[in-house]
Amino acid sequence: MGKLRELGEAASQEVAEVEHRLAATVGGPTHLQVILVLAAVLGLVDADLATVSAVADELKSAFHISNTQIGLLLSTVAYATAAATLPLGLLADRVSRSRLLVIAASVWALAMVASGFAFSFGYLLVSRAVLGVATAAAWPCVASLTGDFFQARERAGAFGLIVAGEFIGAGAGFVIAGGVSSFLSWRWAFFAMALPAVVLAWAVHRYLPEPKRGTQGWLAEHEPDDDASAAKHAAQQPGAKKETVSVQKKAKQQRVEPRTHLILRQDPRAMGLWKTIGYLLHLPTYRLLIVASSLAYYFLSGVRAFMMIFFPSQWHISRGVLAGTVAVIGLGALVGVIMGGRLSEHLLRKGQLNSRLNVPAVGLLASVPPLALAFWVHSAWLGVPLATVGVALLSAAIAPIDAARLDIVHPDLWGRGEAGRMVLRSALDGSAPVLFGIIAAQLGGGTGGLERTMLLMLLPMLAAGSLVVPARRSYARDVMTAAASVEATKQTSGETRSRRQRGSGSS
């Protein structure tokens, strides 16, 4: 017993040391807390979507439906998200984002339970549509909170860790739903995925406070003062607390001028929804980046919808073996998204003003050749490494683009700005499974039709990478426009809030 106790104490010390080092790496325990909760929000969204893909075969047998209808089932969530994103993005700019996420996670749990009780394909479609409405709150809230929790110079790195939750969640969804459905049934797969949503609602309520908008000061104020060793470790990291280089500072040094006609002078929080979207679409970098990232997600959505059907036949492996290969590919995606954010921050410290666009442009374009080969070969020994490399390169583009979008948008418009992107992304996500299924049928059906479809759909990936390149020319000016807008609206925003407070006090 004494030896067991000693081993237990040693293991606890090791775990504590790992947690300590991880906290120091991201800036402290409070930084780690925020990153984990926000990553869990995105992880749950993708876990829910992966559940349908994991039980696609069982659903086809239970409701006697085709691949096209499986695509429609996945598309329903995306279309419902697209419809609800703009109003929920407006809410994210005006109400407590943490409270909004608690409500959304609670609705997710109820929708997953309803999906498990589905007695017809139509009933399942309706329950998935409700889920889509709830998930629409995720990205506007996460993006806006990330902007308010983290300083501009560290957002790409923070986004890399937060977006990693998407890939971890997708992998967890496949593993949990696939495992539960194998032992029990597809209904229990949905029931099992309701539990993480309940836990998330509690975690957001307990560990994600609502920060003041546009300050980025909450984390620094709430890190424990006695965590000296963590601060010392962080200070020893390359560039940590010694470099305060930001995109805005680099742009000022290069004498970049803002777009005078696009400088906001009215209170952004008072702007209507459609006026806000119209304003954002006048920013060249915003237009290019939302289309580029949406095309990349469109491709991933189509592949995810049919991977459990395509890869076992293409690579001549069982579904059980594929589950293991998905974990390997998912690890590549995880490494890619984290390293993409870190690399862009490193290059920024080295003086590259456009680092948050250079990394995505290279990553998106370089991902196409290995992915094409992965779809074409008939051996898992070749396909899995190629797919892992391709997905890692693609994933490296995500965090820098997310950070770049915040750089060019006024903080009081972050929720609506992200909602505008999610409308396009969700619409493309919704069309991807259906279009993949239709095109695969037109190209011969079966595994051969899916192979040709996968290869054809790499063209949007090339387009995504190509769109990031011209964004490099407009990015710096749009960054300075956002900075000038913040300065110009400080007084008007304060006056508007004062009038609201006086009005509520008199009432």
27-38 pLDDT, tens digit per residue, is 556 777 888 888
Q: Is the pLDDT of residue 233 over 60?
A: no
Range from 157-166, 231-240, 423-432, 482-491 carrying the lowest mean pLDDT:
231-240
Q: What is the pTM of this model?
A: 0.74
Has residue 39 been placed in a domain?
Answer: yes
pLDDT mean over 192-212: 85
Q: Would you call 222 exposed, middle or buried from its count of C-beta atoms within 10 A (0-12, 13-18, 19+)? A: middle
Per-residue pLDDT at 229? 42
Q: Is the pLDDT of residue 243 over 60?
A: no
Domain count within the chain: 1
Has residue 362 been placed in a domain?
Answer: yes
What CATH number did the domain enclosing 491 receive?
1.20.1250.20
Most confident of 238-252, 298-312, 457-471, 490-504: 457-471
Has residue 225 been placed in a domain?
Answer: no
H or E element that contains 443: none
Has residue 372 been placed in a domain?
Answer: yes
Give the DSSP per-residue string, 56-114: HHHHHHHHT--HHHHHHHHHHHHHHHHHHHHHHHHHHTTS-HHHHHHHHHHHHHHHHHH
User: pLDDT averaged over the chain?
Assistant: 78
Has residue 337 been placed in a domain?
Answer: yes
Residue 10: C-alpha distances to residues 23, 214, 395 (Å)? 20, 43, 36
Range from 22-36, 81-95, 179-193, 219-233 carrying the lowest mean pLDDT:
219-233
Residue 477: C-alpha distances to residues 252, 254, 292, 481 (Å)? 10, 11, 19, 6
Per-residue pLDDT at 349? 81
pLDDT tens digits, residue range 122-165?
A: 888 888 888 888 888 887 888 888 887 877 777 777 777 887 77
Per-residue three-class SS string for 272-296 = CHHHHHHHHHCCHHHHHHHHHHHHH
- Cα 411 from Cα 93, distance rounded (Å): 9
Per-residue three-class SS string for 117-184 = CCCCHHHHHHHHHHHHHHHCCHHHHHHHHHHHHCCHHHHHHHHHHHHHHHHHHHHHHHHHHHHHHHHC
pLDDT mean over 74-94: 81
Which has more pLDDT, 5 or 457? 457
Residue 282: C-alpha distances to residues 279, 285, 468 (Å)? 5, 9, 17
Has residue 6 been placed in a domain?
Answer: no
Per-residue pLDDT at 364? 92
Has residue 369 been placed in a domain?
Answer: yes
- Cα 399 from Cα 359, distance rounded (Å): 10
Domain range for residue 139? 26-213+241-501
The number of residues making up the chain comes to 507
- Cα 76 from Cα 54, distance rounded (Å): 17
Per-residue pLDDT at 223? 52
Question: Do residues 135 and 15 lie in contact, with contact meaning Cβ atoms separated by under 8 Å?
Answer: no
Model confidence at 373, pLDDT cuts 50, 70, 90, reads: very high
Per-residue pLDDT at 426? 77
Has residue 219 been placed in a domain?
Answer: no
Which tokens in the block code for residue 46? 């993708």
Q: Over pLDDT 70: what percentage of the chain?
A: 81
